[in-house]
């Protein structure tokens, strides 16, 4: 049959074509795979060094150090070389120890400090190509390089209190040492130090502050004190007494001050006052006792922090400050806590004002609050798993709390804000999956996208400053987050989290490069212990090229790229299992280099004419979802980026907007003022007062001027919108007589009037005591007032017995 012959021929041709395409894809993937290098143990630390980040140093769990100077194509173990250099300065090789940390200096990105666990450490000024061993004769506990001067280092050593009667030595504290010649010599500058740090960065020195300013938390016989010094502790200034800890973040210095019991207060100093004067942060929840405080972010002129009732509670309250950093408002009632990061909370890098958080579902949050208020909950224990982020750490003692663990992990939702925490929304689910099938999930049905940010996942959310708008994360669709691994998918956004697409059905590790134009994923569990399945995309996830690596007992752990994510190179972190015998299994790591430059893709063109048909680039403006305007924080930011369907390399960095225009103000441009919270009704932006609002004038209110009272709204810090919706404060004139201008003043005046009436009444009663007694008893003396003239001036009064009064009255009646 001719038709059957033609049909079979076509089928064979299609099979051959698909096989050819698959082979080509595999060959293409194999072409970018450069090399494998076997390490002696699992990876503990990776450091990128040099101006172009071409040098990579890796430290394993066995404290071996490996170095690559060709972007990871080859690695060399330099541990023996380091030991040989150290043998020249010590008498006994046991004093050398092992490398426990690699630090790259901020002041010079080519200088590396290798910290040892004995008395020896190493300094290199050429990214580890050569190094010098130094013996400091004390074991470093912590080290802080100077932010601008590479010769200066601060380091602490455990303080040994040999004399038990020494009242000036405290166990658990450290001695602080200083070097000003890159470790050649050290001198002790302070004792009893618990915490220390240099002034934050070189920017502060241009604001009139000393270059060598140091903050330290020191212990005294009675309390811990936060001190400041500008001359290496020759003199010091006490800043905060009874300080538990401090933290430097951007333009803020935070101090946690102990108060009553385990209650703490948050004190804040800013760069405006040279970090020398602290003010107490004010929270609207007057009854809230801040048991634990976690500073999450302060990079955008406001402060995000989490407070918890108990140090290890699974949820806490997320607050955001105003521009002063002192007045906080409640942003989220029940934000999931992270034992490492403070909260399951992520800033979307490359875009201002965009944050994602995991919270407890609204009804479940009410139940959680009810449970936390019960006395028996206060007696339950919270136990965290070591070295692992997990919400599975609440172990109740009481039998009735056995279901609390599942209650928590099965009621988590993901929300996003595009205006620094003023308004939070559920994530919009994709309409179709990676196979093109409808997801049947919509916000109107209570279904949304939920992400695993940092808790309960080994693959955290990913965003880069060099790739504005690109976000990858693991998650699932539904009413809440599903902890089951089989339900997890990889999702990708190109607009900062507003809209999402499904990138893969299974859980993957992922990384972006080439300014976000190249994405590489590796499947975590392929079901085949000898297979590593990879996929990459050039076109924003529209299509994915798959290829496999066949290597015995090998699985993928992670994917790295240089910190700027601008190259086309990746490093695969692979884990290999080796069965030495029936009872012994050896697990170690391997590194594989991938260079996508080997594909010889063309360089993107037309960057000077974005948006035109022949250009590989387009204009793009991030926005918060409001209708009619592409606005974010009250302005339209126009970026240039590669078109989604163009498969080419981006040779130019486009991380800054080329044009900025202010938008018309809407409700999204305002946040609730201090003491107000958003209505819990969906889509309702009303700010409801939670504290008493006074309309009294301020203390300093000169007559003839005006004062304002909030309406419950203020414009978001950094928002530049114009016109449109306004929430201007109420304006009142300052009074001429200040005392009578306030409600409190009127109250005082009323009380004074009542007191005056009482005093006059008492005086009158005292003057007419006889008459009053006579009236009360019905006999005895009384006072009778006789008026001989109608004029008050001619009034006369005479005093006579009560009987005479009665007779006089009878005479008056007879006359009538």
Among the listed ranges 313-317, 600-604, 752-756, 787-791, which one has the minimum average pLDDT value?
Answer: 787-791
Q: If pLDDT is split at 50, 70 and 90, which confidence band does 1 have?
A: low
pLDDT tens-digit readout, 518-543 = 999 999 887 777 888 999 998 888 88
The pLDDT score that the predictor gives to residue 507 is 92
With beta carbons less than 8 A apart as the criterion, state whether 616 and 642 touch.
yes
- The pLDDT of residue 772 is above 80: no
Stretch among 369-383, 599-613, 776-790 having the lowest mean pLDDT = 776-790
Please tell me the distance from the alpha carbon of residue 333 to that of residue 313, in angstroms, as a whole number: 13
pLDDT tops 60 at residue 30: no
Whether residue 789 has pLDDT greater than 60: no
Give CA–CA dist 186/177, Å, rounded: 6
Long-range contacts (CB closer than 8 Å, 24 or more residues apart) made by 654-660: 654/515, 654/607, 654/617, 655/350, 655/465, 655/466, 655/468, 655/515, 660/635, 660/636
Q: What is the pLDDT of residue 269?
A: 93
Q: Rounded to 5 degrees, what angle do the CA atoms 41, 47, 52 make?
A: 135
pLDDT band at 629 (very low <50, low <70, confident <90, very high): confident
What's the CA gap between 583 and 580, in Å, rounded?
8
List, for residues 49-106, the tens digit of each pLDDT value: 998 899 999 999 999 999 999 999 999 999 999 999 998 888 777 778 889 999 999 8
Report which DSSP code applies to 769. Answer: H
Specify the DSSP class assigned to residue 786.
Answer: -
Mean model confidence pLDDT for the chain: 82
Q: Both tokens of residue 740?
A: 């009578």
Q: Is residue 201 over pLDDT 70?
A: no
* Residue 16, both tokens: 């051959």
Q: Copy the structure tokens of residue 439.
A: 């997801």
What percentage of the chain carries pLDDT values higher than 70?
80
Residue 172 reports pLDDT greater than 90: no
What is the mean pLDDT of the segment spanning 544-550? Answer: 88
Task: Kindly report which listed range (202-216, 225-239, 384-398, 753-767) carries the lowest average pLDDT score.
Answer: 384-398
- Summarised one tens digit per residue, pLDDT across range 382-403 is 433 333 444 433 333 333 444 5
**Nearest to residue 524, comparing CAs of 510, 507, 541?**
507
311-329: average pLDDT: 88
Burial of 640 (0-12, 13-18, 19+ CB in 10 A): buried
**pLDDT surpasses 50 at 565:** yes
Place of tokens 């009034």: 795
* Residue 239 φ/ψ region, left for φ over 0, alpha for ψ in the -120 to 50 degree band, beta for the rest: alpha
Give the pLDDT score at 42. Answer: 87
Give pLDDT, residue 807: 47
Cβ–Cβ < 8 Å for 276, 239: yes
Please determine, for residue 795, whether its predicted confidence score (pLDDT) is greater than 80. no
Closest CA to 39 of 17, 81, 85, 72: 72
pLDDT greater at residue 576 or residue 634: 634
The reported pLDDT for the residue numbered 295 is 93
Whether the per-residue pLDDT at 164 is higher than 60: the answer is: no
Residue 788 has pLDDT above 80, yes or no: no
What is the secondary structure of 147-203 as a DSSP string? SS-TT-EEEEEE-----TT-TT--TT-EEEEEESSTTS--EEEEEEEEEEEE-S-HH
Please name every residue paired with 292 in a beta bridge, in sequence order, or none if there are none: 308
**Exposure letters 670-681 (e unless 16+ CB within 10 A, then b):** bbbbbbbbbeee
Query: Is 199:208 a contact under the CB 8 Å cutoff?
Result: no
* DSSP annotation of 1: -
pLDDT at site 383: 38
pLDDT for 566 equals: 86
Distances in Å between the alpha carbon of 753 and those of 435, 743, 749? 82, 15, 6
**Distance (Å, rounded) from C-alpha 675 to C-alpha 712?**
8
- pLDDT at residue 20 above 80? no
Q: Please write the tens of the pLDDT for every residue from 409-464.
A: 789 999 999 999 999 999 999 999 999 999 999 999 999 999 999 988 889 999 99
pTM listed for this prediction: 0.82
Q: What is the pLDDT of residues 210-219, one digit of tens each?
A: 889 999 999 9
Tell me the mean pLDDT in the region 688-716: 86
Provide the pLDDT for residue 805.
Answer: 47
Q: Mean pLDDT throughout 551-558?
A: 88
Would you say 225 and 238 are in contact if contact means Cβ atoms under 8 Å apart? Answer: yes
- Predicted confidence at residue 285, as pLDDT, reads 73
Question: Does residue 46 register a pLDDT over 80?
Answer: yes
Q: Is the dihedral of CA 224, 225, 228, 229 positive or negative?
A: negative
738: pLDDT strictly greater than 50 = yes
Q: Tell me, what's the pLDDT at 774?
A: 66
Least confidently predicted of 227-236, 246-255, 370-379, 604-613: 370-379
**Whether the Cβ atoms of residue 646 and residue 604 lie closer than 8 Å to each other:** yes
Give the number of residues written for the chain.
816
Q: Which of 372, 375, 341, 376 is nearest to 358 (CA)?
A: 341
800 band by pLDDT with thresholds 50, 70 and 90: very low
CA distance 685 to 624: 15
Burial label, 573 (beta-carbon count in 10 A; 0-12, 13-18, 19+) = buried
pLDDT score for 56? 95
Predicted confidence (pLDDT) per residue in 98-129, tens digit = 899 999 998 899 999 999 888 889 999 999 99
Interatomic CA distance for residues 158 and 171, integer angstroms: 9
Please enumerate in sequence order all residues whose Cβ is within 8 A of that of 498, keeping only pairs 6 or more positions apart, or say none: 418, 428, 622, 623, 624, 625
Distance CA 457, CA 524 (A): 12
């Amino acid at each position: 049959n001719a038709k059957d012959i033609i049909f079979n021929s076509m089928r064979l041709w299609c099979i051959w074509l698909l096989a050819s395409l698959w082979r080509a894809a595999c060959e293409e993937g194999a072409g970018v795979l450069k090399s494998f290098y076997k390490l002696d143990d699992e990876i503990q630390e990776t450091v990128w060094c040099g101006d172009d980040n071409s040098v990579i140093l890796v430290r394993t769990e066995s404290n071996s150090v490996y170095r690559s100077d060709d972007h990871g194509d080859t690695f060399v173990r330099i541990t023996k070389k380091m030991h040989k250099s150290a043998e020249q300065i010590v008498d006994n090789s046991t004093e050398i120890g092992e490398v426990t940390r690699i630090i790259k200096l901020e002041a010079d990105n080519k200088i590396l400090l290798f910290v040892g666990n004995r008395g020896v450490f190493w300094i290199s000024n050429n990214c580890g190509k050569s190094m010098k061993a130094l013996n400091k004769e004390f074991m470093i506990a912590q080290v802080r390089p100077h932010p601008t001067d590479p010769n200066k280092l601060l380091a602490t050593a455990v303080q040994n209190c040999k004399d038990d009667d020494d009242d000036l030595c405290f166990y658990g504290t450290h001695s602080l040492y200083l070097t000003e010649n890159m470790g050649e010599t050290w001198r002790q500058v302070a004792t009893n130090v618990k915490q220390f740090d240099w002034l934050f960065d070189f920017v502060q020195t241009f604001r009139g502050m000393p270059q060598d300013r140091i903050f330290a938390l020191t212990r005294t016989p009675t309390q811990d004190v936060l001190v400041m010094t500008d001359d290496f502790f020759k003199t010091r200034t006490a800043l905060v007494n009874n300080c538990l800890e401090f933290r430097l973040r951007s333009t803020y210095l935070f101090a946690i001050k102990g108060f009553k019991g385990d209650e703490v207060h948050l004190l804040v100093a800013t760069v405006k006052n040279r970090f020398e004067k602290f003010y107490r942060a004010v929270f609207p929840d007057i009854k809230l006792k801040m048991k634990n405080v976690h500073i999450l972010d302060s990079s955008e002129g406001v402060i995000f922090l989490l407070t918890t009732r108990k140090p290890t509670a699974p949820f806490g309250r997320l607050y955001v400050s105003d521009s002063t950093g002192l007045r906080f408002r409640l942003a989220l009632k029940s934000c999931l806590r992270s034992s490492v990061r403070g909260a399951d909370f992520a800033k979307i890098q490359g875009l201002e004002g965009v944050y994602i958080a995991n919270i407890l579902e609204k009804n479940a949050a009410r139940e959680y609050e009810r449970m936390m208020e019960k006395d028996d909950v206060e007696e339950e224990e919270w136990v965290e798993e070591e070295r692992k982020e997990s919400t599975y750490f609440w172990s109740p003692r009481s039998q009735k709390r056995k279901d609390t663990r599942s209650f928590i992990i099965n009621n988590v939702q993901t929300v996003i804000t595009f205006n620094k925490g003023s308004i939070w929304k559920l994530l919009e689910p994709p309409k179709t999956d990676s196979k093109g099938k409808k997801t049947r999930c919509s916000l109107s049905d209570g279904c949304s996208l939920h992400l695993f940010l940092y808790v309960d996942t080994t693959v955290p959310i990913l965003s880069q400053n060099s790739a504005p708008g690109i976000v990858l994360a693991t998650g699932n669709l539904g009413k809440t987050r599903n902890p089951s691994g089989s339900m997890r998918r990889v999702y990708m956004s190109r607009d900062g989290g507003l809209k999402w697409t499904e990138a893969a059905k299974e859980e993957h590790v992922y990384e972006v490069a080439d300014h976000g134009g190249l994405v590489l994923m590796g499947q975590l569990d392929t079901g085949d212990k000898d297979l590593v399945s990879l996929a990459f995309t050039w076109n924003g996830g529209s299509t994915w090229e798959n290829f496999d690596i066949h290597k015995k007992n090998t699985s993928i752990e992670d994917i790295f790229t240089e910190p700027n994510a601008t190259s086309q190179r990746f490093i695969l972190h692979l884990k290999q299992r080796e069965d030495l015998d029936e009872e012994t299994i050896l697990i170690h790591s391997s590194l594989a280099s991938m260079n996508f430059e080997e594909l010889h893709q063309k360089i993107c063109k037309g960057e000077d004419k974005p948006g035109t048909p022949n250009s590989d680039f387009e204009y793009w403006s991030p926005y918060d979802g409001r209708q009619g305007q592409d606005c974010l924080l009250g302005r339209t930011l126009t970026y240039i980026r590669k078109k989604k369907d163009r498969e080419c390399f981006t040779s130019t960095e486009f991380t800054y907007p080329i044009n900025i225009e202010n938008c018309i103000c809407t409700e999204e441009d305002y946040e609730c003022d201090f003491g107000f919270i958003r209505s819990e009704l969906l889509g309702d932006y009303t700010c409801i007062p939670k504290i008493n609002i006074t309309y009294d004038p301020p203390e300093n209110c000169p007559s003839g001027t005006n004062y304002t009272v909030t309406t419950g709204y203020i414009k978001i810090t950094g928002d530049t919108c114009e016109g449109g919706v306004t929430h201007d404060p109420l304006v009142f004139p300052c009074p001429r007589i200040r005392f009578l201008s306030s409600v409190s003043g009127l109250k005082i005046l009323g009380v004074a009037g009542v007191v005056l009436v009482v005093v006059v009444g008492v005086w009158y009663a005292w003057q007419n005591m006889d008459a009053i007694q006579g009236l009360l008893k019905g006999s005895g003396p009384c006072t009778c007032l006789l008026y001989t003239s109608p004029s008050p001036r001619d009034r006369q009064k005479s005093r006579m017995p009560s009987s005479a009064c009665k007779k006089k009255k009878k005479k008056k009646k007879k006359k009538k």
